[in-house]
Amino acid sequence: MNIVDSCGWLEYFADGPNADFYAPAIEDVDNLVVPTICLLEVFKRILQQRGENDALQAVALMHRGTVSDLDVGVALAAAKIGHELKLPLADSVIVATARAQRAVIWTQDGDFQNLEGVKYIKRRP
């Protein structure tokens, strides 16, 4: 299973320099898990930059994967992970979701760089 971090979705939708890195995970919808926190972050950013119609289209594409809701177990695990690893809230939720789903995280966010179960690529300008 795969989880693409919010920055990866935004890179893919913008056809940025690292878009090809994310394509295999995003396009393999049978093995794609989408944490609800990613829906929130991607919708918000695209809404700010391009408007509601584009944001809704992005979220519709993200729904091709299996959406994983933030339940009590994942929330508490995320709190512990955030505390132990000093991660921001959204990153903690993504890590907790990945661990619960036995998924690999695909990202260019340096907060994930040295964590087990992460496919990391350096952000390119």
Residue 81 has pLDDT above 90, yes or no: yes
Position 125 scores a pLDDT of: 85
Position 39 scores a pLDDT of: 98
User: Distance (Å, rounded) from C-alpha 97 to C-alpha 114?
Assistant: 17
Residue 87: closest CA among 109, 119, 117, 118: 109
Q: Are 43 and 76 in contact (CB under 8 A)?
A: no
User: Distance (Å, rounded) from C-alpha 63 to C-alpha 76?
Assistant: 25
Domains of the chain, start order: 2-109 (3.40.50.1010)
Q: What is the pLDDT of residues 13-44, one digit of tens each?
A: 999 999 999 999 999 999 999 999 999 999 99
